Amino acid sequence: MNKVTINIDWCKGCGLCAEACPKKIISLASDKLNKKGYHPACITDEEKCIACAMCAVMCPETVIKVEKL
């Protein structure tokens, strides 16, 4: 089990993480808004995460932390 933590208050919903994810388990939460009014990125199926950190590498805001548990 791997753990991805996203600081959603700083996320600007650009979607570059979702594009980079090889497992396609990141999406922009259409039912949620953060402080700045963006739809933040969220993990839809953390079980499938392989902790490659490609999302974090492409994130311009550096709000993603990836841990291998």
Partner 1 sequence: MGQIVFDRPKALSDVQLTYCPGCTHGIVHRLIAQVIDELEIEGRTVGIAPVGCSVFAYNFFDCDMIQAPHGRAPAVATGVKRAHPNNVLFTYQGDGDLAAIGTAETVHVGARGENITTIFINNAIYGMTGGQMAPTTLYKQVTMTTPYGREKNIQGSPIKVCEMLATLDGTAYAERVAVDCVKNVNATKKAIKKAFQIQMAGKGYSIVEVLSACPTEWGKSPVEALEWIRTDMMPFYPLGIYKDVTEG
- CB-based contact 69:3 (threshold 8 Å): yes
Q: 12, 23, 27, 29: which one contacts partner 1 (CB under 8 A)?
A: 12
57 lines the binding site for partner 1 (CB under 8 A): yes
CB of 43 to partner 1, least distance (A): 14
27 lines the binding site for partner 1 (CB under 8 A): no
33 lines the binding site for partner 1 (CB under 8 A): no
Amino acid letter, residue 62: T
- CB-based contact 46:1 (threshold 8 Å): yes
- CB-based contact 8:65 (threshold 8 Å): no
> How many CB atoms neighbour CB 29 within 10 A?
16
Positions touching partner 1 (CB under 8 A) are: 2-3, 10, 12-16, 19-20, 38, 51, 53-54, 56-62, 64-69
